[in-house]
Amino acid sequence: MNVFSIPKSDFKKITNIFNREIGRFVFFVFLLFFDSIYFAENVTNSQILINILMVAGFFKMYFRSNPRTKELMIYAVILGFIGEYFFSRGLHMYTYRLENVPLYVPLGHAALYGRIFMFTKSSVVRKYDKSIVQFFAVCISILAITSLIFFNDVFGFVMTICIFLLLWKKPKDRLFFFSMYILVVILEIGGTAFGCWEWPDTAFGVFKFLPSNNPPIGISLLYFLLDIGCFLIYTQRHKIAWNRLKNIQRNQA
């Protein structure tokens, strides 16, 4: 099914949902300018302001979300803090401008997770799941190939291939992860362009045989760990409901 075959009325609904759920997060990317190197050197260090704005935005989204999304967002914040300190401060896989972990980052992970979750669970989006996934897959392929050819981003290209392979036999998960891939690309390009954080020119600064762009295009592969962690915690806390859902899906198969 081709995305351009979607009826105009439904396509408009999907676009509106995308703008509402994803567009607001993209707007935050532009706010990263206030944590940029340029702003810090020419105006003032305003990372605190960004943190305050993200806290306000996070709680606004949190209180407008359904109970399941709220719970997942809390898990995402907790795992985001742990992951950021482990990967950035512990392993030095990437570095923030002030060599810290800004408060807006783990909160941003949770907001990103929540926005994508709400977008992909919309009824009209799920109705055209295959068409949207097909379109996103083409966009991702173009992004990865372009980054490889023009920026020698071998690391990002390899991670993108890994993403496709991991989702090869998981069609129900593709919409969520492909949506995350695209949103992470926008976030990472904005953050690195402003100098809020920086990736080394090889994979994590360790694997010299994997040249990397700043940012590596397929870095959403690491973000997937956040989703898997949130999902595992949620299913363990709601074992009865989760087992019931699996039985329903098994009977429908």
Find the angle CA(83)-CA(84)-CA(90) to the nearest 5 degrees.
90
pLDDT at 7 over 70: yes
Please tell me the predicted confidence (pLDDT) of residue 247.
52
Contact between residue 158 and residue 147 where contact means Cβ atoms under 8 Å apart = no
Please give the pLDDT value at position 134.
93
The whole-angstrom separation of Cα 42 and Cα 88 is 27
The total of structural domains in the chain comes to 1
Note the pLDDT of residue 135.
93
In the chain, which residue ranges form alpha helices assigned H by DSSP?
Answer: 8-18, 24-31, 37-42, 47-63, 67-84, 104-120, 123-127, 129-151, 154-166, 171-193, 220-237, 239-252
In terms of Cα–Cα distance, which of 111, 204, 127 is closest to 158? Answer: 204
Confidence class for position 63, pLDDT limits 50, 70, 90: confident
* Residue predicted with more confidence, 144 or 42: 144
Is pLDDT larger for residue 65 or for residue 194? 194
Instruction: Look at residue 202 and give its three-state secondary structure.
Output: strand
| Segment of 1-5, 129-133, 223-227 carrying the highest mean pLDDT | 129-133
Q: 112 falls in which pLDDT band (50, 70, 90)?
A: confident
Residue 251 predicted with pLDDT over 70? no
Residue 48 pLDDT more than 90?
no
Tokens of 107: 């909160």
Q: What percent of the chain shows pLDDT beyond 70?
A: 94
pLDDT band at 246 (very low <50, low <70, confident <90, very high): low
Q: Are 249 and 202 in contact (CB under 8 A)?
A: no
Q: Which of 61-75, 142-156, 191-205 has the lowest mean pLDDT?
A: 61-75
**pLDDT score recorded for residue 147:** 97
Full-model pTM: 0.88
- Looking up tokens 């709220």 gives 70
Residue 170 has pLDDT above 90, yes or no: no
Say how far apart CA 45 and CA 140 lie, in whole Å: 35
Q: Which residue has the higher pLDDT, 28 or 247?
A: 28
Mean pLDDT of the chain: 86
Structural domain for 145, as ranges: 3-252
Euclidean distance between CA atoms 105 and 16, whole angstroms: 26
Short-list 79, 151, 162, CA closest to 113: 79
**Stretch 195-223: mean pLDDT:** 92
Band the pLDDT of 252: cuts 50, 70, 90. very low
pLDDT at 211: 96
